[in-house]
Amino acid sequence: MYPKSLNELIECFRYLPGVGERTAERFALKVADMNEEDVTRFAKSLVYLKEHLHHCSVCGNLTDDDICEICADTGRDHSQILVVESSRDVNAMEKTREFFGVYHVLNGLISSSKGVMPEDLDLELLLKQAKDAKEIILATSTTIDGETTAMYLGRLLKETYPNLLITRIAHGLPSGGLLDYADEMTLSHALSDRREMR
Amino acid sequence: MYPKSLNELIECFRYLPGVGERTAERFALKVADMNEEDVTRFAKSLVYLKEHLHHCSVCGNLTDDDICEICADTGRDHSQILVVESSRDVNAMEKTREFFGVYHVLNGLISSSKGVMPEDLDLELLLKQAKDAKEIILATSTTIDGETTAMYLGRLLKETYPNLLITRIAHGLPSGGLLDYADEMTLSHALSDRREMR
């Protein structure tokens, strides 16, 4: 019932995650209300992103350059590699300002439910990056797929580089977490990974 | 911390209603994953919309043409005009397939809280369209601004065209509405607008 121009844009917005028909409608009508300059900028930034953004040839992180900013930073510890699922995780971790090593971005997780097998991930890139590393911190999510991936990668890395230190991020109660609200899995990990107070 | 191309697109997505930083981030990363064809289509549809979409010169509805599809439809009853706030409302009403008149889209509501005065709406267009009408159905929302606008328009239309029938959509309990969940305003309207059962 909407004009063609509006329907076409609504359809495009529906490609975005979590955007249903009504939200896409609201977005498109908002664009109709925006000034021409902002809409042009929006359109250009879509094209610009597609032309420039790709994966870092060292670590798999998203970057506009050949090598991402973090890999290019000589001030960081390149012998400590934190392995994550996506660039969003890199961003989240960087916000803590507590990690000074480098990353490896898998751009996916091994997942039996989604049919993603180990060979679907570019693990050669990880092995190449891990070659001169001292520690690999497996920091995939504590979901089933995250745990599966961490377990698989742990074994693969150990087999390839027997002297490499391989660690897994802690799994326990989140900050501000109430004990009686936590699920059993979280509690059982929080208990088994308890540490001595000094 | 993201590359420039990604940050720029994230900022653009933040213009959309209800989109915060994390959602904009998810959207931009989704675009990074989309194939080039889809992204190009997205960008083009933004530009196309801005170039083609505007308000119908008769009723104010959004259209790609000079006159919207509904106004151009000679099969509809042009003497019955349903007045709504926006093109979204036209779309919602059309989905009922129960209205065969035409619309007038105000593209706004009189609002003291938002500082929108009657002269900010193109009421000349409404008066022009209402000239040969038999009935005007005021179908703005049953919010404070919607009621204010309906009241103002009702008076304006009555003064201008004393013989015109001016009606207001019913205000009562929604379908499937539980009496004890309804607010006082709704209940009081549902009571005062009660009708005889036949």
pLDDT per residue over B3-23, tens digit each?
999 999 999 999 999 999 999
A150 token code pair: 């961490």
- Concatenated DSSP letters of B6-72: HHHHHHHHTTSTT--HHHHHHHHHHHHHS-HHHHHHHHHHHHHHHHH-EE-TTT--EESSSS-HHHH
C-alpha to C-alpha distance for B10 and B25, rounded to whole angstroms: 6
Per-residue pLDDT of chain B (198 residues; tens, 9 = 90+): 799 999 999 999 999 999 999 999 999 999 999 999 999 999 999 999 999 999 999 999 999 999 999 999 999 999 999 999 999 899 888 888 889 999 999 999 999 999 999 999 999 999 999 999 999 999 999 889 999 999 999 999 999 999 999 998 888 888 877 778 778 888 888 787 877 767
CB-CB under 8 Å, A91 with B29? no
Q: Is B46 on the interface with A (CB under 8 A)?
A: yes
* The pLDDT of residue B32: 93
CATH number reported for the structural domain that contains residue B175 in this entry:
3.40.1360.10
- Domain assignment present for B181: yes
* The pLDDT of residue B122: 94
Select the more confidently predicted residue: A179 or A39. A39
Residue indicated by tokens 């480098």: A102
Per-residue pLDDT tens over the stretch A158-172: 999 999 999 988 888
| A46 & A120 share domain | no
- The identity of residue A145, as a single letter, is D
* The pLDDT of residue A194: 80
The neighbour count for residue A105, using CB atoms within 10 Å, is 25
- Domain assignment present for B60: no
- Domain assignment present for A187: yes
Bridge partners for B116 per DSSP: B111
Residues near B99 by beta carbon (within 8 Å), at least 6 away in sequence: B82, B93
| A87 & A182 share domain | yes
CB-CB under 8 Å, B26 with A49? no
Number of domains in chain B: 2
| A178 & A84 share domain | yes
| A101 & A185 share domain | yes
| A111 & A148 share domain | yes
**Chain centroid, CA A88 distance in Å:** 4
The dihedral built from the CA positions of residue B169, B170, B172 and B173, taken in this order, carries a sign that is negative
| A24 & A87 share domain | no
C-alpha to C-alpha distance for A87 and B1, rounded to whole angstroms: 10
Q: Is B117 on the interface with A (CB under 8 A)?
A: no
A4 token code pair: 């063609």
- Domain assignment present for B65: no
Bridge partners for A135 per DSSP: A80, A165
| A117 & A147 share domain | yes
Phi, psi of B131 (to 5 degrees): -50, -45
Of B42, B53, B68, which has the smallest distance from its Cβ to A5's Cβ?
B53
Are A193 and A172 spatial neighbours (Cβ–Cβ below 8 Å)? yes
* The pLDDT of residue A196: 72
Q: To the nearest whole angstrom, how far is the Cα of B147 from the nearest Cα of chain A?
A: 23
Q: What share of chain B is helix, strand, coil (3-state, %, to 5)?
A: 45, 15, 40
Mean per-residue pLDDT, A165-184: 83
Residues of chain B neighbouring A2 (CB-CB closer than 8 A): 62, 87, 91
- Domain assignment present for B21: yes
- Domain assignment present for B9: yes
- The identity of residue B174, as a single letter, is P
This prediction has a pTM of 0.77
Domain of residue A135: give its range. 72-192
| B86 & B142 share domain | yes
Per-residue pLDDT tens over the stretch A69-128: 999 999 999 999 999 999 989 988 888 888 999 999 999 999 999 999 999 999 999 999
Are B106 and B138 spatial neighbours (Cβ–Cβ below 8 Å)? no
- Domain assignment present for B41: yes
| B82 & B146 share domain | yes
> For residue B76, with 0-12 CB atoms within 10 Å meaning exposed, 13-18 middle and 19 or more buried, which class applies?
middle
Mean per-residue pLDDT, A166-194: 82
* The pLDDT of residue A155: 94
Q: Give me the percent of chain A exceeding a pLDDT of 70.
A: 99
Of B1, B5, B95, which has the smallest distance from its Cβ to A49's Cβ?
B5
**Chain centroid, CA B187 distance in Å:** 25
Q: Is A62 on the interface with B (CB under 8 A)?
A: yes
B29, B49, B51: which to substitute to probe chain A, counting the most A Cβ within 10 Å?
B49
A142 token code pair: 């504590």
